[in-house]
Amino acid sequence: MKSKTEFKHEALLDASDIQDVLKAISKGMGKGKLEFSDDKDGELLLHPQGLLRLKVTASEEDDRQQFEIKVRWEKSPKAISKNPPKIA
């Protein structure tokens, strides 16, 4: 059975405020602990560890531009063989 806990926050901010949020995320990544909270959606604590999957996308359409940064990892990484396959 899968469980899902989610934190979402949306706001209109200037570039400087968004830069502060990105710096806080960077600092948390360095400590191995990200604490997300606000007055509405409660709290979520994440512990990034091991190899992390990074996905960066950017797009432009008419008068709208955007970029997204997605970072994902497994809490209990699956064991993956470190040996190359034998091919004859």
Domain positions in the chain: 15-73
pLDDT at 1: 61
Q: What is the enclosing helix (H) or strand (E) of 44?
A: strand 42-46
Q: 18 phi and psi, to 5 degrees?
A: -65, -40
Tokens of 59: 């797009």
Tokens of 77: 């990484």
Report how far residue 74's alpha carbon sits from residue 53's, in angstroms, rounded to the nearest whole number: 9
Q: What is the pLDDT of residues 36-82, one digit of tens each?
A: 998 886 789 999 988 899 999 999 999 999 999 999 998 877 777 77
Residue pair 46/36 in contact by the 8 Å Cβ criterion: yes
Whether the full predicted model's pTM is greater than 0.75, yes or no, is yes
Report the relative pairing of strands 34-38 and 42-46 from DSSP bridges: antiparallel
pLDDT at 44: 93
Q: What is the pLDDT of residues 13-35, one digit of tens each?
A: 999 999 999 999 999 999 999 99
